[in-house]
């Protein structure tokens, strides 16, 4: 058994690692700039000093840990430096990357941007009488341009918009002389593998080592996750305790099965979202249906482990948690009962069951010693696959009933465009799914000795 569990762990752990890497890399592909989102845009609008802007951007990038490489190792072309991730703002990093890929070399691109920075400082130092909206628009287009034709046109427009007294013809001419150095060329070079080590963005994201001001995404969802797991654990236990005996009873009692199968099917095909709305309208809306003061509407107090335990929080909000638990339990219980019923029917048709009846064994002995044990195998197999569906349904249920769980945290993260929290929630659901599948494999091997023999 220990060897079987070890093999399953050796499969589950690399799978979790690969999922975490994929989730992180997908988040990195989002077109966003954390530095600009966390004070960079406001600072840029308030200052005209490019040197001060660069210093501020560098400090913000260091505070947010985005001035680190993405992963432990990286692959880049030889025309790009292995420290490109340290260039900020983000638009400058993207512009320099594109230009280096076009010309196939990094040195002319670095010299070009040093000259561009000197030109920008000169233009910013000009008196206000020389400044104009057309000039500012042209400068903005010039800073982010990667096409040499657009760059040449922008330089010509800047020279035309400024009076001769501005005395920047030398700077414009210097840029025109360096422009051929960043012109597109054929060939991008060869890939280079670089080892960065532990200080990287993936490591900080996975371990939750974020700055105190920004907050770790793991800490943001810990309290909500505890609430969701607590509610779903209660619902899942009730679902199995009720669904398995009900399915066994229906599978061995054809007379009761005739009229009870349809209500179970109708209950199961109702989406959990619609079932939540229906129960809320009937029992939690004042003046409608069967409103109860015990339930007292919807919404729970925010769980804070520094003030109370999870069990005390549940006791305090037990009335308002009744309907969410009932919703998840009803939907999951009907699925388990229908699966158990079908499994009982399949096992009851086996030859060894007919042989047991022919020997005259009591029906109770046959049902509990032969049919029940063998009918449990499919239920154990689907246990791991049920967890994502239950968590997904619980998210909508929590939103409808106003529970501050993982559903509320997901909704808040989506509305606030908090991508770090969204990625963490996706990873957490993946961890729960794989953990459920691992637990199902262990339970199946414990119940069925044939699996242990095969291993």
Beta carbons within 10 angstroms of residue 293's beta carbon: 8
Measured between alpha carbons, how far is 83 from 77 in angstroms, rounded to an integer?
12
| Fold (topology level) of 217-454 | MetI-like fold (1.10.3720)
Tens digits of per-residue pLDDT, 62-71?
A: 777 778 888 8
Query: Taking 80 as the threshold, does the pLDDT of residue 369 lie above it?
Result: yes
Instruction: Please report the DSSP string for 351-412 in residue order.
Output: HHHHHHHHTT--HHHHIIIIIHHHHHHHHHHHHHHHHHHHHHHHHHHHHHHT--SHHHHHHH
If residue 38 lies in a helix (H) or strand (E), which one and from where to where? none
- Domain ranges in the chain are 73-195, 217-454
Q: Are 184 and 148 in contact (CB under 8 A)?
A: yes
Global pTM value: 0.72
In the block, residue with structure tokens 């220990």: 2
Higher pLDDT, 188 or 34: 34
DSSP single-letter state for residue 272: H
Query: Taking 90 as the threshold, does the pLDDT of residue 89 lie above it?
Result: no
Query: Taking 80 as the threshold, does the pLDDT of residue 201 lie above it?
Result: yes
Tens digits of per-residue pLDDT, 405-435?
A: 888 888 888 887 777 788 888 888 888 888 8
Measured between alpha carbons, how far is 208 from 428 in angstroms, rounded to an integer?
13
Q: Token pair of 52, please?
A: 């001060």
Q: Give the residues across from 73 on adjacent strands.
A: 195
| Helix, coil or strand: residue 74 | strand
Measured between alpha carbons, how far is 387 from 229 in angstroms, rounded to an integer?
11
Model confidence at 243, in pLDDT bands (50, 70, 90)?
A: very high
Give me the pLDDT at residue 241, please: 93
Task: Give the number of residues written for the chain.
Answer: 455
Query: Could you give the maximum distance between any two Cα atoms of the chain, in Å?
Result: 113
Mean pLDDT of 432-451: 79
Give me the pLDDT at residue 313, please: 77
Tens digits of per-residue pLDDT, 370-389?
A: 888 888 888 888 877 777 77
Q: Are 126 and 149 in contact (CB under 8 A)?
A: no
Beta carbons within 10 angstroms of residue 382's beta carbon: 13
Give me the pLDDT at residue 275, please: 86
Model confidence at 48, in pLDDT bands (50, 70, 90)?
A: low
In Å, how far from its chain's centre is CA 211?
A: 20
Mean pLDDT of the chain: 81
Query: Taking 80 as the threshold, does the pLDDT of residue 291 lie above it?
Result: no
Q: Token pair of 269, please?
A: 């095909």
Model confidence at 298, in pLDDT bands (50, 70, 90)?
A: low
Mean pLDDT of 224-250: 89
Query: Taking 90 as the threshold, does the pLDDT of residue 242 lie above it?
Result: yes
Model confidence at 109, in pLDDT bands (50, 70, 90)?
A: very high
Mean pLDDT of 288-306: 59
């Amino acid at each position: 058994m220990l060897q079987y569990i070890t093999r399953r762990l050796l499969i589950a752990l690399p799978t979790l690692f690969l999922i975490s890497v994929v989730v992180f890399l997908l988040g990195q592909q989002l077109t966003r700039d954390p530095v600009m989102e966390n004070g960079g845009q406001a600072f840029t609008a308030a200052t005209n000093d490019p040197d001060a802007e660069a210093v501020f951007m560098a400090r913000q990038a260091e505070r947010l840990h985005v001035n680190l490489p993405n992963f432990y190792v990286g692959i880049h072309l030889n025309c790009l430096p292995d420290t490109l991730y340290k260039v900020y703002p983000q638009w400058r990093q993207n512009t320099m990357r594109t230009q280096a890929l076009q010309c196939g070399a990094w040195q002319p691109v670095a010299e070009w941007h040093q000259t561009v920075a000197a030109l920008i400082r000169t233009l910013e130092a000009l008196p206000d009488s020389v400044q104009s909206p057309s000039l500012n628009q042209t400068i903005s287009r010039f800073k982010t341009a990667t096409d040499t034709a657009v760059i040449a046109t922008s330089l010509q427009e800047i020279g035309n918009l400024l009076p001769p007294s501005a005395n920047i013809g030398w700077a414009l001419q210097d840029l025109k002389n360096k422009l051929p150095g960043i012109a597109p060329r054929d060939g991008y070079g060869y890939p280079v593998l670089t080892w960065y080590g532990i200080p990287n963005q993936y490591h900080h994201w996975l371990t939750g080592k974020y700055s105190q001001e920004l907050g770790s995404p793991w800490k943001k969802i810990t309290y909500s996750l505890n609430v969701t797991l607590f509610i779903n654990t209660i619902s899942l236990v009730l679902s199995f305790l009720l669904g398995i005996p009900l399915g066994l009873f229906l599978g061995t009692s054809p007379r009761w099965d005739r009229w009870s199968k349809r209500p179970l099917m109708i209950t199961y095909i109702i989406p959990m979202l619609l079932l939540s709305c229906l129960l809320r309208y009937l029992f939690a809306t004042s003046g409608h249906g069967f409103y109860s003061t015990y339930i007292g509407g919807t919404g729970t107090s925010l769980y804070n482990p520094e003030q109370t335990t999870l069990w005390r929080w549940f006791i305090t909000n037990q009335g308002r948690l009744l309907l969410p638990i009932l919703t998840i339990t009803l939907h999951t219980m009907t699925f388990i009962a229908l699966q158990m019923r079908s499994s009982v029917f399949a096992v009851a048709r086996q030859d060894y069951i007919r042989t047991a009846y022919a020997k005259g064994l009591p029906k109770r002995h046959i049902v509990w010693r032969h049919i029940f044990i063998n009918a449990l195998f499919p239920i154990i197999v689907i246990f791991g696959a049920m967890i994502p569906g239950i968590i997904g349904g619980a998210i909508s249920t929590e939103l409808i009933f106003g529970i501050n769980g993982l559903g509320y945290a997901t909704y808040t993260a989506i509305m606030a465009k908090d991508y770090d929290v969204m990625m963490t929630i996706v990873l957490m659901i993946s961890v729960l799914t794989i953990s459920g599948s691992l637990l199902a494999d262990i339970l199946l091997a414990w119940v069925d000795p044939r699996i242990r023999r095969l291993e």
